[in-house]
Structure 1
Amino acid sequence: MSLDYKEAINLIESRHPGTKLRVLRSFLKDLKPLVARPEAKLGSCRSCGMPTTAKVCAYCRLALKIEQLT
Structure 2
Amino acid sequence: MICALGETTGPPALKYMQKKMLADPVGRQILDEKPLLNTQTIDVNYLGSLPEGTFGKAYWDFLSVNVKI
TM-score (norm 2): 0.28
Between structure 1 and structure 2, the one with the greater Rg is: 1
Greater per-residue helix proportion = 2
TM-score (norm 1): 0.28
Greater per-residue strand proportion = 1
